[in-house]
Amino acid sequence: MERITQAQLAAEAGIGVRWLREIESGSPKPSIEDHLRCAGRLGLPAGYFFLPMMFLQNRRSFPADLLHGDMNRLQEHCIEFIIEDYYLGAVIRKGRRAGVPVDDASLRGSE
């Protein structure tokens, strides 16, 4: 889709053409950094790799249709969930357990 050659991608990702061919053929030896460098050059977000891996690790089926959607938006949504719902929720609960008055709305940026 990017209309670039293997040589161009390899050069921009900082790897050799031969190594890129091994990555493309599914060689199990490339590091995650190699994959991420190539993905970054092609405009694929890290979530393209990590979200399916999280599903797999939790023994859940990954809905393949998600890979064809807006992965940048999905990745951003995941980050927002972690920050707003998970992390801030933990801070609020910890504060309440310690007897500190916590205003949920101000911590979450709401009015």
What are 28-42's pLDDT values in tens digits? 677 788 878 888 888
pTM of the model: 0.49
What's the confidence (pLDDT) of residue 107? Answer: 57
pLDDT less than 70: residues of the chain: 28, 102-111
Give me the phi and psi of 37, to 5 degrees please. -65, -45
Give me the phi and psi of 75, to 5 degrees please. -60, -45
What's the confidence (pLDDT) of residue 108? Answer: 56
Give the tokens for residue 55. 């599903």
